[in-house]
Amino acid sequence: MADQNQNNLAIVTTREQPAIPIEQDNSNLLQTDFPDDFIFGSGERSCCSRWKRAEYWDDFTMRTPSRIDDGSNVVVAGDMYNRYKEDIRAMKAMGFEAYRFSIPWPRILPDGRPSAGINRKGIEYYNEVIDTVIAYGMKPFVTLFHWDLPDILQKEYHGLLSRKIVDDFKEYVELCFWEFGDRVKDWTTLSEPWTITTFGYVDGTFPPSKASCPPEVAAAKLPAHESARSTDTAASVPITRSYSDVKYDINLLLCHATIVNIYRTKFQEFQKGQIRIVLNSHWAVPLDKNSPDDVAAVRRAVDFMLGWYLFKSCLVWSLPTKYDRFCSSRKSCTFNFSLQESEMLKGSLDFLGINYYMTYYAKNDTTPEGVGYHADMRVEFSNIDQSGLNIAPWGIYQKLVYIKNTYPNIPPIIITENGVADQNDPKLTAKQACVDPVRVKYHQDHLANILKAIKKNFYEYDTCSQDKVDVKGYFVWSWCDNFEWAQGYTLRFGINYVDFTKNQTRYPKNSAVWFAKFLRDEKEKTMGPPSNKRSIEENSENVPEKRLKAT
């Protein structure tokens, strides 16, 4: 049944009039078009197994290579481990102001807990990475959990399914605050809890592969994270458990709330940093804009990806009726938080990180199959274009408007990931693969739509103007090609090409060239290109000599 109060929803129910016409040329967009305090950065996830015990992705790729599209693993990946200095130097030369990266839990605590031993070599390595970022005049944005659970904890008590994960995660993160918090001022507790829980515990295509949904349902009805998933891969996943005992999403939110509480009570006052969660969500538009049921399906689709986590983190700002809406639409799960835990979750965001990639059509599903997540959502998804990339720059505008108007007192937003993938083509030379016009236009058009949300925020079918959306930053995903989870190395997201057959050599793609012009144009006209060497020397007095090794 359609929401009777649908006029109050921040859902744009049309696809004929996108926020910015697709034929508009945004190639002349400049960094100076954005507010002075808007920050531009690039991001990458650490994916190398060196200097750490296994995380469960290591075990997953090495033990079951058939579950990865190309049978690959994460042993070397993009090799940021060895190439961080040249990469950070190149980021600075292009004009980026921040670098977003993760610190894998097993690199700091190989066996998951301080009592089992602290890897001082790993701590020193990340001290050098952080100091190099700062020496180049950039800001480190550090993610504490990007799906790299120590495999030993998965084997000991099933990882996210146990409340024990909260205490162990707390010990790891508190150690990071002590070791790195004097320089790191931007922390992310969790990156994309929806992705790791839904793919890991519902359809089973990610580790720990505890599927609770028929794989053919998962493959057919759930949109992929960043690209189309292989249905063959999904179909090979056995159903290992019933849905009714799933507690992973609650335990992850408790990890987030606990860490924010620790940071605010013990560290924030003297370290002067900020802390956030990063949430991902596709956008959706109704397959039939004149169907109230399809309009309602759009809202459910967004709630099941974004709202399920954002609502719980923003309880203090939400209307009481939202609780009833969530309970009625996702009946197989309950909140199961104590009063103290709920209080910790309220307002547990200094900033909100949002990852956006694509938009789908959504249709009301009157006959959902199975039980659990997919059946409760009652939504059928379909592509908005024949390519399957589902590129819709106007979707990021509509999504930002939706967040602002659904959660009116939401803290400032940073777009922490935005990008598009190419299928890897081994027949192309590196020079040929660096010609990426789709990616260039993708970033141009998404930036233009973000700028629109910052400058004006209104509904096309509403006479009432709304407040502007407070967006403070944009991070390109990703800096360079890397291991892409269940797709292995079959996809390339980077603005820099990585030759995985020749020592992970980097080559800037056309998208990197465009970003260099976009970010440096005005400064080069007035100041000239900066010297990387001079930048290091000028900042050297602020960095401990034993740590500063960048040259």
Give catalytic residue positions.
417
- Parallel, antiparallel or unpaired: strands 413-418 and 351-356: parallel
CA distances, 477 to each of 99, 355, 526 (Å): 11, 9, 29
Q: What are phi and psi of 291, to 5 degrees?
A: -95, 115
Query: Strand 39-43 and strand 471-477: pairing?
Result: parallel
What secondary structure does DSSP assign to 92-126, as a single string?
A: HHHT--EEEEE--HHHH-TTSSGGG---HHHHHHH
Instruction: Name all contacts of 446-450 with Cβ < 8 Å and 24+ positions apart.
Output: 446/356, 446/393, 446/396, 446/418, 447/26, 447/29, 447/474, 448/20, 448/24, 448/26, 448/29, 448/393, 449/19, 449/20, 449/393, 449/394, 449/396, 449/397, 450/396, 450/397, 450/400, 450/415, 450/474
| Burial class, 2, CB count within 10 angstroms (exposed 0-12 / middle 13-18 / buried 19+) | middle
Cα separation, 505 vs 76, in Å, equals 13
431: its two tokens:
């020079």
Report CA dihedral (437, 356, 219, 198) to the nearest 10 degrees: 150
How far apart are alpha carbons 416 and 196 in whole angstroms?
17
Query: In whole angstroms, how far apart are CA 27 and each of 372, 389, 518?
Result: 45, 21, 9
The first and second tokens of residue 18, run together, are 């996108």
User: CA–CA separation, 247 vs 420, rounded Å?
Assistant: 32
What DSSP state is assigned to residue 477?
E
Beta strands 98-102; 186-191: pairing state: unpaired
- Crossing angle, helix 120-135 and helix 80-94, to 10 degrees? 10
Quote the tokens at residue 139: 């800001």
Please give the full DSSP string across 397-460, using - where no structure is assigned.
Answer: HHHHHHHHHHSTTPPPEEEEEE---EEP-TTS-HHHHT--HHHHHHHHHHHHHHHHHHH-EE-T
